[in-house]
Amino acid sequence: MNTPDNSQRQAEAAANTRRTVMRLGLGTLGMFAFAFALVPLYEVICEVTGLNGKTAGQYEYVEGDLVADESREIHVRFVTNVNAGMVWEFAADKGGMRVTPGGMHEAIFRAHNPTDRVMVAQTIPSVAPGRAAAFFHKTQCFCFEQQVLQPGESVEMPMRFIVDRDLPGAVTTISLSYTMFDITEQMRNVHGSVSTAAGS
């Protein structure tokens, strides 16, 4: 037989259990919401800070606004790689160059398709140190579009860039790395043929 004290204790225990279940449920929902928000939040932070070393797209500028800071020199290194399975030859004409912030500069890269088939490539850039990415502006780059090369074809690919005058003074060397990927099969799957992809 339940006494008033026992009934009260049971009611309090049930209320405590409901509160605990509710807290656990809210905590679980909160963790799921945080997990979904984490990726876009990380991408926004990286976009703003350049922490992941990824550069933005084509930089728009006004010719008259280009004023070189002759008091500084930045060493820009060029690093080229091809992804596993990519057979193209890919290199920069120079391993690096010294540039003045605020001025327009140009580097030449070359690619060669040594195979007997049409191939499509996409190049992905990255900048180190990561905090320099927001200050490295590409006005022209082969990485903005896919490269389609015929069998045995070679191509010269200019890249024009500006190192922002606001680049932190502690940064004296920037490494611009390019990794080239073979996307021939992906283009064939999307367009039906590589020749169609080349004309798109």
Tens of pLDDT, residues 155-185: 999 999 999 999 999 999 999 999 999 999 9
- pTM of the entire predicted model: 0.67
CB 80, CB 91: distance < 8 Å: yes
28 located within any domain: yes
Q: Which secondary structure element, helix H or strand E, spans residue 177, and what is its range?
A: strand 173-182
Average pLDDT, stretch 115-122? Answer: 96
Tell whether omega for the bond before 158 is within 30 degrees of 0, i.e. cis. Answer: no
Q: How confident is residue 197, by pLDDT bands cut at 50, 70 and 90?
A: low
Count up the domains in the chain and report the number. Answer: 2
Core vs surface per residue 37-58: b (16+ CB within 10 A) or e: eeeeeeeeeeeeebeebbbeee
**Residue 73 token pair:** 């020199």
Residues 33 and 68 in one domain: no
Describe the strand order of the beta sheet including 147-149 as a list of residue ranges. 96-99, 74-82, 173-182, 119-128, 147-149
58 located within any domain: no
Q: Residue 69 to residues 66, 102, 127, 161, 162: CA-CA distances in angstroms?
A: 10, 6, 21, 15, 11
Average pLDDT, stretch 66-79? Answer: 93
Distance (Å, whole) CA 127 – CA 95: 15
Q: How confident is residue 189, by pLDDT bands cut at 50, 70 and 90?
A: confident
The enclosing domain of 146 has a CATH number of 2.60.370.10
CB 125, CB 143: distance < 8 Å: yes
Which residues, 6 or more positions from 14, have their beta carbon under 8 angstroms from its beta carbon? Answer: none
Which residue segment(s) compose the domain that 89 sits in?
63-199
Residues 35 and 93 in one domain: no
**Residue 4 token pair:** 């008033």
24 located within any domain: yes
Residues 135 and 170 in one domain: yes
Q: What is residue 58's predicted lDDT score, i.e. its pLDDT?
A: 61
Amino acid making up residue 131: R
- Would the pLDDT of 122 be above 80? yes
Compute the mean pLDDT over every residue in the chain, rounded to the nearest whole number. 82
- Of 19-23, 54-58, 93-97, 186-190, the range with the highest mean pLDDT is 93-97
Q: How confident is residue 15, by pLDDT bands cut at 50, 70 and 90?
A: confident
Distance (Å, whole) CA 147 – CA 144: 10
Residues 44 and 8 in one domain: yes
Q: How confident is residue 42, by pLDDT bands cut at 50, 70 and 90?
A: very low
Lowest mean pLDDT among 18-22, 75-79, 114-118, 182-186: 18-22
Average pLDDT, stretch 121-137? Answer: 94
Q: What is residue 65's predicted lDDT score, i.e. its pLDDT?
A: 74
Residues 88 and 122 in one domain: yes
